[in-house]
Chain A
């Protein structure tokens, strides 16, 4: 099942299971259905449970809160994280702190889905992830599914969760295929992070699309006998570092490959926590890879420099281990043109 279909199935299954779940946002019921992720919902559940909206992201975010406080389970959808930012006043000033400010009397069980864009010239306003920024705010949960199973299990878990959840889906993951078991327990806490591949050389901690890049790097390096351990963070907040710490204690080395800016970013938090917990086991400092500290450029050659990649992971690994640079000319790395011709 593709990631897109897993999202779609999770929504349909939750709507089926709980009549208080509804899905809304710009274009959730148009002919494109948010890249197919809201396909079939309005037909099956009707326009009161799946509806498109006026262009008013801040109000929509507050409306989700009001409905959640009244006991409904809203799923608000933004086709880009960048558009979600119009709702940050509600997210940060209201949603994140209402339970606390009310002395525990109010809850905001809502989900805000947003799609992280990339490629085909998405540029600075169609490409943000910002999971670190949201994880910075107490009272929010932040989820970064990486595989179809995560998309299904974590979205169901997010909808059932008693707290507000920001759910960030990478656009390129939509076409990724993988097995989906429907009967896994839908709980956020069970799945904070996951070891995607075992190894002994270096622990690569990944978020979102960086799992794909890290697994590719592991495959290439594995052929020359360097075995990376890849640990994906699926829930950025609340962050559970036990699996990561256990892995770094084993390998003694770590690269955080985060899908966001590094400066004051989620990678900084991971690096700090790992360094504090593994100070005596670390054989070299924790390294960080992420976006260049610039707005995302539109043009392809600069985009290639902006984003972290499998190649960067390989080169960083070689540096840490004191290996000479491999010849990568025969390797086939992910290039979106093979799968994604835009426009969006």
Chain B
């Protein structure tokens, strides 16, 4: 396994921490009813978005996500103001407040589109990969989706097309074994993702998505295989969803899943794992705390700024429906 330098590890940790701390901030202020947007928090999943983004961003990759997109948005933009302003519905948000939490996107930073209807960005990423092939570009399309998306027809349609055309697209299944509140055993008539994908012409790899540095290595390995064999890749990563499907709470008492022991929860926490890795590299905990303090400060000023920012003016209602505004 390739180990990052301490400097690189800290840069990665900064992105990981930004995602976690932004979501903690959401949990802290959501009760004020200022963020009028359905939030699908990614606590527990941060290592996947950050690790894959970090490992592929130098390849000129284009990213496509779901409604659980906060991590990839913050990894791509590192801009908590564009993030919070969008959640506040302000015109300074990444989408002028018209998208909200479920549609955070920033094409200028490589995050092309995210979407609230399960599996809908999968074919769009395949189309993006087709465009790269069409133009002989070396860029990669990376699409994130959950295990539930594998039950959608368009997932299989897109996979088939990508494999047939040998397109440079990396499918990333963020597998938390849950679709909303339905466990995987109630939903899937197949037992193994790997076997189900077995006859498709693609590079497949599966593993855990809790250790960001490990995710980076898994990503680099599969992208190398994709490049070598000129075929799509499928990276299947497991993680633990700490919170409810939508909203800021835990929901272990809802009856559809049991609360793990504290020790088990800690073992699935990408932040604790990354801190442990940093400590083993010799990074002092006060250094990590200082970094987090700086991030918290940025987040606080982003929230304050977003509060002060204006809502979109009335003319924004009809702007950007079409290229030219219609009367």
Contact = CB atoms under 8 A, between A and B. Distances in A.
Interface stretch (B46-54, B119-127, B192-200, B202-210): B119-127
B261 to A, nearest CB: 41
Interface string B160-181: 1100100000000000000000
**Size category of the binding interface on chain A:** 35 or more
Interface stretch (B90-98, B220-228, B284-292): B90-98
Interface stretch (B11-19, B110-118, B211-219, B268-276): B110-118
A163 B321 CA distance: 9
Interface string A46-65: 00100001101011111111
Contact of A101 (B99, B125, B154, B160): B99
B113 to A, nearest CB: 7
B126 A63 contact: yes
Interface of A: 22, 48, 53-54, 56, 58-72, 74, 89-90, 93-94, 98-107, 138-139, 141, 161-163, 238
A75 to B, nearest CB: 13
Contacts, number: 147
B28 interface: no
Nearest to B103: A101
A331 to B, nearest CB: 42
Interface of B: 62, 93-99, 103, 105-108, 112-113, 115, 117, 120-132, 134, 141, 153-154, 157-158, 160-161, 164, 319-324, 326
A99 B128 contact: no
Given A99-B320, A107-B323, A139-B321, A54 B161 contact: yes
27 contacts: A54-B164, A58-B123, A59-B158, A60-B157, A62-B123, A62-B126, A63-B161, A64-B127, A67-B128, A67-B130, A68-B127, A69-B112, A69-B113, A69-B128, A71-B131, A90-B124, A94-B115, A94-B117, A94-B121, A100-B321, A101-B98, A101-B103, A103-B93, A103-B97, A105-B95, A139-B322, A238-B322
Q: Which 3 A-B pairs have the closest CB atoms?
A: A66-B127, A62-B123, A56-B157
Contact of A59 (B94, B103, B141, B161): B161
A164 to B, nearest CB: 9
Contact of B127 (A62, A100, A138, A141): A62
Contacts of A100: 98, 320-321
B270 to A, nearest CB: 29
